[in-house]
Structure 1
Amino acid sequence: MTGFGSLARVESKLLLRDPGAIFSMVIPLFILAVFGSGAAPGDVALPAMSMTVAVGLVGLYMVPTTLATYRERGILRRLSTTPVSPVTLLGVQLTLQLVFAVLASALLVGVSVAAFSAAVPARAVTMAVAFLLGTSAVFAIGLLIAATAPSGRAANGIGVLLYFPLAFLGGLMQPKEAMPEVLAAIGEWTPLGLFRQAVFDAWSGAATQPLILAIMAAYALVVGGVAARIFRWE
């Protein structure tokens, strides 16, 4: 087994024991269960919002907390003296977090369709592209938090504090139609707002705006590039 594979096996076990993983899985399901019964048959607004909540929690809470904690404990520094480089650990962590986000989202889609009569995703390929770009954008912000936070606890706090305003502006706490016009307009360009809209459009069969996909890709490239440049290994 390769170094990447061996490390992935160990890290996957640690991820499954992480209380944050349970939290990130249960909260979106709870939202869906509480409000799903009141949704109209075929409606996908709530499922799209729940999926955005899940990705936001993984990207802004789990990613930065885990990586900053590893740096704080000297794990990244110690790995630099072994055949398994710190870059390999980062790659394993991001891969596992992405897989976790995919599984959480797939579960939300299945529950939405089976239990709450939501429509089956109308444009699955476009939805997959939107999901990948949106998740990359959110993960990039998580990486930036991990790169700048002095400790795992600080990364946790920063991620949570950043999550709530982004969730509010992105229309995850109330419909954007009920928000002040200025805030709703700002929220349309935030990573979570873009993600929610892109997933909703693809899921419902509406035309996906190329600009939304392009902006999410720009978030991923620009913010991720800055995070990679300033990331401290110890």
Structure 2
Amino acid sequence: MVQAEARMVTRDPANVIIPLAVPVLLLVMNGLSLENPDEELRSGVTVMDYHAVPVVLALVVTMIAVMNFPGYLATYRKTKVLRRLAVTPASPAMVLVAQIVVSFLQMLFGIAIALGIALQFFDTALPDDVLVAVLVLLALCLTMYSVGMIVASVAPTPNAAVAMGLIGFFGMAALGGMFGPMENLPERLAEVGSWLPFGAAVEAFQSTWVGETVAWENWASLGVTTVLGVAVASALFRWE
């Protein structure tokens, strides 16, 4: 099942290339546009490390989980694939798990590409606390998958899933630092952005880069969003 889902994903070049290319493009743009990307905020941690790399990591996860992932499930529902599978040993839940596995591998590949470019060409430092950074990444994946499941649950068609995913993605990312540090936003918007899961993840990654304790508000945002997402998706999701 995982192999079949991987084959389906690779047959759509846009859904493979865009989530990998856009974060890299944003990384390069930040490297070129930041006034002093090599300025050290703390020993060994530059402006590039602190502001650009956490945003890029959050972008990879969010684009795949909120934009790509729901579209496949909506397509399977519209084409009656899930209904047909419901009467076979290969249940619709197996499709869901297989799709999550494939998209998660795609996330890891995208993160590896982005970090590789950052390390090779921008002399980016690894997080001071790598273990906590990995935990933040896993928490972000769970959160964004739960948001993606909400989109898949309420979207009547694949096009609707794409549109809703785009709105959710840009709404969270714009307030979470995609177009510049959150502190550059008006105070109220910055506060809203920091409570949304994208902004909370960016702040959490920033804390791991400088060796600070991740704020409880960041964990709370990711945790509450995950619980709400799972609850809403469980109540609204239909296989057909």
Q: TM-score, normalised by structure 1?
A: 0.92
- What does the per-residue CA deviation read over 1:130-178, in whole Å, with 9 as the maximum and x for residues that have no partner? 0011111111111001000101110001111221121111121121121
Question: Is 2:130 the counterpart of 1:117?
Answer: no
What amino acid is the match of 1:192?
F
**1:23 maps to which residue?**
18
2:83 pairs, out of 77, 87, 107, with 77
- CA separation in 2, counterparts of 1:53 and 1:208? 19
1:174 equivalenced with 2:172 (yes/no): no
- The separation in 1 between residues aligned to 2:23 and 2:215, in whole angstroms, is 26
**Out of 181, 189, 194, which is 1:183 matched to?**
189
Match of 1:196 in 2: 202
* Counterpart residue type for residue 38 of structure 2: A
Moved more, 208-217 or 8-17: 208-217
Q: Distance in 1 between matches of 2:112 and 2:234?
A: 29
3-state SS of paired residue (1:118): coil
CA deviations on 1:13-71 (whole Å, 9 max, x unpaired) are 22223221210000001111222245216421201111111111112100111111111
Partner of 1:14: 8
Residue correspondence of structure 1 range 50-69 to structure 2 within 5 A: 50-69=56-75
1-structure distance, mates of 2:150, 2:28:
33
What secondary structure does 1:188 align onto?
Answer: helix
Q: How far did 1:191 drift?
A: 0.9
User: Do the aligned residues in 1 keep the contact of 2:77 with 2:239 (CA within 8 Å)?
Assistant: yes
- Assess if the C-alpha contact under 8 Å between 1:124 and 1:202 holds in 2: yes
2:38 corresponds to which of 40, 48, 51: 40
User: What CA distance in whole angstroms lies between the structure 2 residues aligned with 1:109 and 1:144?
Assistant: 29
The letter of the residue matching 2:3 is R
When structure 1 is superposed on structure 2, of 216-225 and 183-192 the one drifting more is 216-225
Q: For 1:178 and 1:160, how far apart are their aligned partners in 2?
A: 23
TM-score for both structures, normalised by structure 2: 0.90
Local SS of the residue matching 2:195:
coil
2:164 aligns to what SS in structure 1?
A: helix
One-letter code of the match for 1:46?
A
Report the Cα distance in structure 1 between the residues aligned to 2:168 and 2:216, rounded to whole angstroms.
Answer: 26
Q: Secondary structure at the match of 2:125?
A: coil
Q: Which moved more, 1:124-133 or 1:173-182?
A: 173-182
RMSD (Å), alpha carbons: 1.4
Question: Which residue does the alignment assign to 2:94?
Answer: 88
Identity of aligned residues (%): 27
User: In the TM superposition, what is the alpha-carbon distance from 1:106 to its structure 2 partner?
Assistant: 2.2
Alignment of 1:120-159 (within 5 A): 120-159=126-165
Q: Which runs of 5+ in 1 are unaligned?
A: 1-6
Residue type matched to 1:230 in 2?
A: L
Structure 2: segments with no counterpart, 5+ residues: 40-44
| CA–CA distance in structure 2, aligned partners of residues 160 and 177 of structure 1 | 24
Give the number of aligned pairs.
228
Determine the C-alpha separation between the residues in 1 that align with 2:133 and 2:195. Answer: 18
